[in-house]
A and B are shown apart, each in its own frame.
Chain A
Amino acid sequence: DQQVKQNSPSLSVQEGRISILNCDYTNSMFDYFLWYKKYPAEGPTFLISISSIKDKNEDGRFTVFLNKSAKHLSLHIVPSQPGDSAVYFCAADSNYQLIWGAGTKLIIKP
């Protein structure tokens, strides 16, 4: 039973447009969420996080939105750039462990 779900295995977006990556979770006790980015043959790297006391966190081109009532979060990348092409993982903090989604492969088209 997946507690963190990323239902889109892949997403293709035109360069310069907005990329929206979605993540749903089932456990209402989760109170901290993270997004990681992973290039092929490399380990995941931390991108941005959000605490459940907030509904939005912004860092440059990256914004994460949290909707606690819907148990849904999303990562917005605007404008999308070719270097953003990677796999994006959503993760939820559970007692100092991370519960991971399956990832969404983002492809930025020139």
Chain B
Amino acid sequence: GAGVSQSPSNKVTEKGKDVELRCDPISGHTALYWYRQRLGQGLEFLIYFQGNSAPDKSGLPSDRFSAERTGESVSTLTIQRTQQEDSAVYLCASSPLLAGGGYEQFFGPGTRLTVL
């Protein structure tokens, strides 16, 4: 498809287990973002990839969270030793990052993570 896809759409896991979330951005988009949205709250920035530059990890809440991106394609967000407070919808977005700034991000449908 032409849009951003994420898998799985839903993930239920037990506290302490590791989870891996996947994002396939729109082809040709150089920028990729991960956000999370807890119930009743706004979007919380996690990490940003831009081309071959070092990712901006300033939003990652703890060292249990990590993300990788292969070139300008797929990204995976890994949460180790999940905690109940990690329960949220994890959203991925990609952007063509046009020269001169002023752009929009295209979002995937999200992965709903529930930690029991």
Contact = CB atoms under 8 A, between A and B. Distances in A.
Contacts, number: 58
A100 to B, nearest CB: 4
Interface residues of B, number: 27
B43 interface: yes
B74 interface: no
A99 B105 CA distance: 12
Interface of chain B, main secondary structure: strand
B35 to A, nearest CB: 8
Interface of A: 6, 31-32, 34, 36, 41-46, 49, 51, 89, 93, 96-103
Interface of B: 4, 31, 33, 35, 41-45, 48, 50, 56, 91, 93, 95, 97, 101-110, 112
